[in-house]
Amino acid sequence: MADSDGMVVDKKKIACRLCRVIIAYSGNTSNMTYHLERLHISEFKKYLEKTGKTNSVNGSKLSEEDTVVDDEAEAQPESEQLTLNWKITDKVCGGISDNGSNIVNAFTLLNIDHFPCIAHTLQLAVNKGLKVARVQRIIARCKAIVSHFKRSTKETYKLREKQELLKLPQHMLVQDCVTRWGSTLSMLQRLIEQQTAISAVLVEGKDRHLMLESGDWEVVEMLVELLKPFQQATTVMGAVRYPTLSIVKPLLYKLLTKTLKITQGDSATSKAVKQEIKKDLDDSKREIVDMVEEELISLESDSTNQELRTEEVVDDDDLDPPVSKKKKGPISKLIGDLFEG
């Protein structure tokens, strides 16, 4: 790329003289040719007529119809330029993001299939369940308890004394974050762990009104047990060291049929929370599974072909002796231990 005086300032980039868009330089003119062909059709036709070359995409001469530029084509240059600059024009089959309308619209402009993030989908569903009236009230009271000890050094010291007396872990209480339901789960888990110490401090002071009733503690325990699988599922689906596409369908199935299954022993609050989460997850599941299914079929086909090829060349004598017992990985633990039974 040259400056205004014609001096080369960057040998890795070139600029289109027609629209001044910066294009990555790979040692030949393929990127610029592709850019002209997609965004400057008239000029590209003149270039082909002058050089006698053919269309770089399909090897054929451009027809008169190819020179027609409509409003849609002129509205796309910037979005198409993104994939061109990164040299991924023919490599992108889809993209994953949260469910924000602005992000979804961006994928539409880029003409890329959008896959909603499963972790974000789980977060939205869980948040719906936490908005059940009684659950909201109890969580608000839990926040008040944590804030009480966070604000007062004296009360924190008393809590530490009770922890030592009751031989409980010397852990501080956890304050939750409104936008992260995982922090709410952490807060509830810590409150259950320190329940006796917290009650001992509050009953001796002037803040007995902060104490939770036995029915409230039952709801807290129910929420912890219900949300644990969602936390573990979110952790596994957010991994980057192994592929997670094939886990989506069985994971959603297990959450809907086991974790959210309503039983006779469920309280009215438990049923309400499960129904809210299930309703939101059910709607999202249809969209996600439909999108993922085609990719899974393709992957399964490739995997089957690979296995067949392997079976043809592997001799039984060459197989390694059986391994005693391998440590379960995060995926095996999620699909196995977490939902077993």
Contacts of 280 (CB under 8 A, 6+ apart): 124, 125, 128
pLDDT mean over 85-91 = 75
**Tokens 């205004």 correspond to what residue?**
4
What DSSP character marks residue 242? S
> CA distances (Å), 294 to each of 94, 285, 288, 289, in order?
12, 15, 11, 9
> CA distances (Å), 300 to each of 144, 262, 294, 297, 334, in order?
51, 33, 10, 5, 21
The pLDDT confidence band at residue 322, using thresholds 50, 70 and 90, is very low
Residue at which a domain ends, from 178, 212, 246: 212
The Cα 276–Cα 226 span in angstroms is 13
| pTM for this prediction | 0.62
Which of the residue ranges 15-24, 87-96, 173-182, 306-315 has the most confident prediction, judged by mean pLDDT? 173-182
User: What is the pLDDT at residue 65?
Assistant: 42
pLDDT mean over 284-289 = 62
Mean pLDDT of the chain: 75
Question: Both 201 and 138 in a single domain?
Answer: yes
Count up the domains in the chain and report the number. 2
User: What is the pLDDT at residue 230?
Assistant: 92
Tell me if 106 is assigned to some domain: no
Question: Both 139 and 70 in a single domain?
Answer: no
Tell me if 250 is assigned to some domain: no
Question: Both 147 and 208 in a single domain?
Answer: yes
pLDDT mean over 257-280 = 92
Residue at which a domain ends, from 212, 239, 272: 212
User: What is the pLDDT at residue 1?
Assistant: 45
Q: Residues 103-135: pLDDT tens digits?
A: 878 777 777 777 788 888 899 899 999 999 999
- Give yes or no for a contact between 23 and 1, defined as CB atoms under 8 angstroms apart: no
Question: Both 147 and 87 in a single domain?
Answer: no
Residue at which a domain ends, from 40, 68, 91: 91
Q: Is 201 exposed, middle or buried (0-12, 13-18, 19+ CB in 10 A)?
A: buried
Question: Both 25 and 78 in a single domain?
Answer: yes
Tell me if 228 is assigned to some domain: no
Which range is least confidently modeled, 110-119, 227-236, 285-294? Answer: 285-294
- Give yes or no for a contact between 43 and 67, defined as CB atoms under 8 angstroms apart: no
pLDDT mean over 88-94 = 74
Residue bearing the bigger pLDDT, 29 or 159: 159
Tell me if 175 is assigned to some domain: yes
Tell me if 68 is assigned to some domain: yes
Tell me if 328 is assigned to some domain: no
Residue bearing the bigger pLDDT, 331 or 248: 248
The pLDDT confidence band at residue 332, using thresholds 50, 70 and 90, is low
The Cα 309–Cα 277 span in angstroms is 44
Tell me if 233 is assigned to some domain: no
Tell me if 194 is assigned to some domain: yes
Contacts of 221 (CB under 8 A, 6+ apart): 192
Q: Which residues span the domain enclosing 153?
A: 130-212
User: What is the pLDDT at residue 13?
Assistant: 66
- Give yes or no for a contact between 244 and 109, defined as CB atoms under 8 angstroms apart: no
User: What is the pLDDT at residue 131?
Assistant: 94
